[in-house]
Amino acid sequence: MMTDSEVLPAHDAPAARTAAAARREHVGRLLQHHGALIVLAVLVVVGSVAFDFFATPENAASVVVSSSFLAIIALGMTFVIISGGIDLSVGSLFVLGGVLAAYGSQAGVVVALLLPLAVCGTFGLVQGLIIARTGMAPFIVTLAGLLGVRGLMLALSNEGATTYLVKNPAFAALGQGELFGLTYPVYIAAALALLCMLLLQRTGFGQNVFAIGGNEHAATLMGVPVVRTKVLVYLMSGLLAGLAGALNAARLSSGVTILGIGLELDVIAAVVIGGTLLTGGAGSVTGTVSGVLLLGVIQSLINQIGDLTSSFQQVVSGGFLALVVIAQRLLSKAQRLN
């Protein structure tokens, strides 16, 4: 899918560069782009061999179903991070989306979906406008967003005391209905992933996102619509977080006010593990999907190894994230030297 094999021969190779170095660089790029996928495959194989319960369809389905919500948010985050930004508000937007969807489901399915999308989209839009227009750091703007959105969520839910229940069966079916043993959110996540892949790889918008993340100043000089692209990227992130929240509310039949706190960190970890550079300018949707699934598989393995508590999952995720960023750094250093 990537264009490595086409780029390498066309490169004007200096005489000193040996075939071994070229091969090393090729392996390096492969690792950076598909590292998460490789580790995922290894883990799945090891898990299937080592534990009987791991390779069962039920377990696979549970991993995929629980990953789908993280995946939807991570898609938006992928665009944000490739553009050189970060969005810390998605965890709060996810919760807000759930509360709004459960609240709106009293008035029908359409309202239950549109209300969270409209509100979360507006938050994304405003954050994008502030970031793009004033040049304030995305980190701090979305941090304020995290607090503000959480405050709004608490205000709506009577300081977290009220949990709106989804009593609309049609809306609940959206999160709970099954097709071939998998719930609808899995298919929605898959369709969105495909869409995002096309958007990132095959459209001018995707190219603009890469250009801004690679070098914003150069992108501005080349006439890339920097402000518009940035605003769109944060709008997308907000919309996807709201959608994931709405689907989650449908799955749980209620707008839970405590889940999803700190979710932004899981999402960022998944995106980074998937090979998207936090410095911007490089990354892929497939990598992000692999990263999300990898975190899901790690969690599933640890849950099933009896005497390990879920705290171990955090230790492993944190350690893994550290390894990935070290590897990314070394790989990109090696590439720059070549």
Where on the chain is the footprint of another protein (CB under 8 A)?
86, 130, 132-137, 139-141, 143-148, 150-155, 159, 217, 226-227, 265, 268-269, 272, 278-279, 309, 311-319, 321-322, 325-326, 329-330, 333
Long-range Cβ pairs for the range 24-32 (8 Å, 24+): 24/334, 25/334, 25/335, 25/338, 28/331, 28/334, 28/335, 29/2, 29/4, 29/331, 29/335, 30/4, 31/327, 31/331, 32/275, 32/327, 32/328, 32/331, 32/332
Query: Which residue lies nearer to another protein by CB, 110 or 137?
Result: 137
Query: Which residue lies nearer to another protein by CB, 153 or 294?
Result: 153
**Shortest Cβ distance from residue 91 to another protein (Å)?**
11
Query: Which residue lies nearer to another protein by CB, 56 or 279?
Result: 279
**Shortest Cβ distance from residue 266 to another protein (Å)?**
8
Query: Which residue lies nearer to another protein by CB, 7 or 323?
Result: 323
Q: If 0-12 CB within 10 Å is exposed, 13-18 middle and 19+ buried, where does residue 221 land?
A: exposed
Report which residue type is found at 134: T
**Shortest Cβ distance from residue 87 to another protein (Å)?**
13
Query: Which residue lies nearer to another protein by CB, 4 or 159?
Result: 159
Candidates 123, 54, 27; CA nearest to 298 is 54
**Shortest Cβ distance from residue 214 to another protein (Å)?**
15
**Shortest Cβ distance from residue 48 to another protein (Å)?**
25
Distance CA 246, CA 121 (A): 13
Query: Which residue lies nearer to another protein by CB, 191 or 322?
Result: 322
Q: At residue 335, what are phi and psi to the nearest 5 degrees?
A: -65, -35
**Shortest Cβ distance from residue 88 to another protein (Å)?**
9
Structure tokens at 120: 């979360």
| DSSP codes joined into one string, 215-237 | -HHHHHHTT--HHHHHHHHHHHH
**Shortest Cβ distance from residue 145 to another protein (Å)?**
7
Whole-angstrom CA distances from 188 to 90, 237, 283 are 18, 16, 22
Element (H, E) at 76: helix 57-82
Query: Which residue lies nearer to another protein by CB, 93 or 192?
Result: 93
Distance CA 301, CA 51 (A): 9
